[in-house]
Amino acid sequence: MFRDEGNALIVVIIVSMIIGILGAVALDTGREAQFSATSDGDRQQALGAAEAGLHLIMSRVSAEAGNATQQGVTLPNFWSIAPGGTLPAGCAPGGTCAAAKNSSDYTGSTPQGTYWYWVTRCTPSTIPCPGTQAEPTAGFIVDVQASSGGTVFGRGRHIQVTLTPPSRFAHDEAYALFSYTSINVSNNDQVLKGDVFANTNVMVNNSNQNPTVQGSLTSATGWIELDSSVHVTGNVWSGGFNPTGSTTGWSLNLGNAARIDGSAKASTSNNNDCAALPNHNYDVILGSGATVGGGITTLGSVTPSGSGTTSCTQAQPALPLPLYTFNPDFYDPATYHGPWTVADFQTWLSSNLSNLHGTFNVTSEPLPFNSNGQTNRIDLSGAKLTGSTTIVTNAPVYTGSLDDSQMTDPNGTFVIVSHYQAPPSTACSTTSNTSECAIHITNGFSLNTDGTCRTATLLYADNGPVALKNSSNGGGNLCGSIISNGIVVKNNENVTYDSRIDRVVGFGPSAYAITRWEELAATK
């Protein structure tokens, strides 16, 4: 008889080996899955720890910006970092920082893991702030590293962010002219780049340069009037009406040969005005040869041609003036001056007319207004800008023949913040350099050989109008933005929006915000 016990034994052995191999594979697979899950979890935990550290740093920066301490914490003092310097010393942006990792001043822990951080102060003229090439500004580079887990499964993360001043407006609008009240542009002035916004009326009068406004023009609650041959390349949008027409009111009034390349819209913020259409308070008047390339929409009628769409549309909401908060710690202490009186400033300036740069905090009489008016004002006549300059004051400012022929910084800025409020029953005028304006600007700013401006200028006056007129070099060039409670522009002035003043410290709901977030390779 044939016996097969030997074969059966071999089969049993083979099957057992296969089962053992499969079991080992399953065990290895399970272990790898466990390892992978643990590693992934630690990686996420490390990121959570790093972001917790980042938010702690941001809150401390904001606390210092507001001259406050956070829960009694006074160190580290980010404002003490010299422009271009790092805290702690020896740590490079995007590199390693053993000094931070091994110091209790720069480390912390959360349930997710431990973190350590270092901060670099960045400026256009020292270490440029990453992610701000299009709009150079000053701020901070914050590096945070974190680790989570043990020696086997532990993982690290490294994040780096750029903190810069936030935009002045909610949606980064590029306003060349922004007025809390009205705007009057006249006598061959131009807005060569940027939009124009007013909460009330806008008049562009006798400004026949082409184009007159290279952007859009908006009145939130008022009317808009364009004189003969005025050319607006963007849209024109009104939100109210002028009741003083010959028979009825009007919302948009275009002179002979006036031209709008975009659309024209006469809207309202009062729904009652839409009860019966057409509402002739909102008529659009077209002079002979006036054209609107993108069509007309109005609550009223279009005269005399009758073309256009009659429809009720909601006006652009009125906008508040951006909030400005002054803090001397925002600025380089080496070139900070103040608080000074107006007399202190003028004494200093008399000895430094050819070398004006730095930050100046100048106080006059208390608000709400200065009874001395324009007799106690900052006068920059004859001064030459040699570097970025900021003047913050509650006195009026007159720039006179200030020029920037000696400005060598390609990112140079000139910022005037005037909280001056004129005495009651006075007016700001372009016909008098001593009228009650918060800022009179008649600068001699010049262009580079490529046509760009040497200096980016921001004029801010929350309590009074700004008058821009009569450039001392024969053709006014102001690159930047005017933000004011009323604006009058006259006599061959060119205003061009300049992104170099997009993010000026002191504006916005917070001192600093995240401009850029990037993850870098973690280091030991």
Same structural domain for residues 389 and 359?
A: yes
Closest CA to 485 of 269, 251, 320, 242: 320
- The predicted-structure confidence for 260-308, as pLDDT tens digits, reads as follows 999 999 999 898 999 999 999 999 999 999 999 999 999 999 988 778 8
Q: What is the predicted pLDDT for the residue at 228?
A: 92
Same structural domain for residues 244 and 133?
A: no
Q: Quick one: how far is CA 461 from the chain centroid?
A: 16
Confidence tier at 182 by pLDDT (50, 70, 90): very high
H-helix or E-strand containing 357?
Answer: strand 356-363
Q: What is the predicted pLDDT for the residue at 35?
A: 41
Q: What is the predicted pLDDT for the residue at 40?
A: 47
Q: Within a domain: residue 4?
A: no
H-helix or E-strand containing 195?
Answer: strand 195-198
> Domain range spanning residue 465?
170-199+319-508
Same structural domain for residues 155 and 265?
A: no
Q: Within a domain: residue 16?
A: no
Same structural domain for residues 49 and 147?
A: yes
Q: Within a domain: residue 473?
A: yes
Same structural domain for residues 151 and 228?
A: no
Strand pairing of 113-122 and 86-87? antiparallel
Pair of tokens at residue 189: 């002035």
Pair of tokens at residue 476: 């006014």
Residue type, 137: T
Domain end marker among 285, 318, 351: 318
Same structural domain for residues 462 and 420?
A: yes
Q: What is the predicted pLDDT for the residue at 76?
A: 78
For 113-137, the DSSP string reads EEEEEEEEEE-TTSSPPTT-TTS--
Domain end marker among 318, 349, 369: 318
Q: Within a domain: residue 209?
A: no
Q: Within a domain: residue 514?
A: yes
Residue type, 414: F
- The predicted-structure confidence for 219-229, as pLDDT tens digits, reads as follows 999 999 999 99
ω into 465 cis (within 30 of 0): no
- The predicted-structure confidence for 59-85, as pLDDT tens digits, reads as follows 888 777 766 555 555 567 888 888 888
Are residues 455 and 476 in contact, defined by beta-carbon separation less than 8 angstroms? no
Distances from the Cα of 425 to the Cαs of 174, 367, 422, 428, 461, in angstroms?
A: 33, 16, 8, 10, 18
Cβ-based neighbours of 422, under 8 Å, separated by 6 or more: 369, 373, 396, 428, 436, 437, 438, 464
pTM: 0.82
Confidence tier at 36 by pLDDT (50, 70, 90): very low
Are residues 516 and 503 in contact, defined by beta-carbon separation less than 8 angstroms? no
Confidence tier at 34 by pLDDT (50, 70, 90): very low
The residue count for the chain: 524
Same structural domain for residues 465 and 323?
A: yes
pLDDT of 39 strictly over 50: no
Overall number of domains in the chain: 3
Cβ-based neighbours of 176, under 8 Å, separated by 6 or more: 191, 193, 194, 195, 196, 215, 481, 482, 495, 496, 497
**Dihedral pair phi/psi, residue 344, rounded to 5°:** -60, -45
- Rounded Cα distance, 183 and 177, in Å: 8
Q: Within a domain: residue 415?
A: yes
Same structural domain for residues 371 and 437?
A: yes
Same structural domain for residues 480 and 438?
A: yes
Same structural domain for residues 328 and 411?
A: yes
Q: What is the predicted pLDDT for the residue at 277?
A: 92
Q: Which residues pair with 321 in a beta bridge?
A: none
Same structural domain for residues 408 and 381?
A: yes
Residue type, 488: V
Q: What is the predicted pLDDT for the residue at 48?
A: 87
Side-chain half-sphere exposure of 363, counting CA atoms within 13 A: 8
Q: Within a domain: residue 17?
A: no
Three-state SS letters, 5-42? HHHHHHHHHHHHHHHHHHHHHHHHHHHHHHHHHHHHHH
Q: Quick one: how far is CA 207 from the chain centroid?
A: 29
Same structural domain for residues 344 and 378?
A: yes
Domain end marker among 296, 318, 340: 318
H-helix or E-strand containing 65?
Answer: helix 5-65
- Rounded Cα distance, 77 and 60, in Å: 9
Q: What is the predicted pLDDT for the residue at 316?
A: 94
CA angle 135, 141, 147 (to 5 degrees): 145
Q: What is the predicted pLDDT for the residue at 133?
A: 76
Are residues 229 and 204 in contact, defined by beta-carbon separation less than 8 angstroms? no
For 255-281, the DSSP string reads -TT-EESS-EEE-BS-GGGGSSSS-GG
Q: What is the mean pLDDT of residues 144-172?
A: 81
- Rounded Cα distance, 269 and 197, in Å: 16
Q: Within a domain: residue 127?
A: yes
Are residues 486 and 182 in contact, defined by beta-carbon separation less than 8 angstroms? yes
CA dihedral 428→434→440→441, nearest 10 degrees, is: 140
- Residue 251 DSSP class: S
Find tokens 């410290």 and name the residue: 505
Find tokens 């010049």 and name the residue: 446
**Dihedral pair phi/psi, residue 10, rounded to 5°:** -65, -45
Cβ-based neighbours of 393, under 8 Å, separated by 6 or more: 342, 360, 361, 362, 363, 364, 378, 417, 418, 419, 420
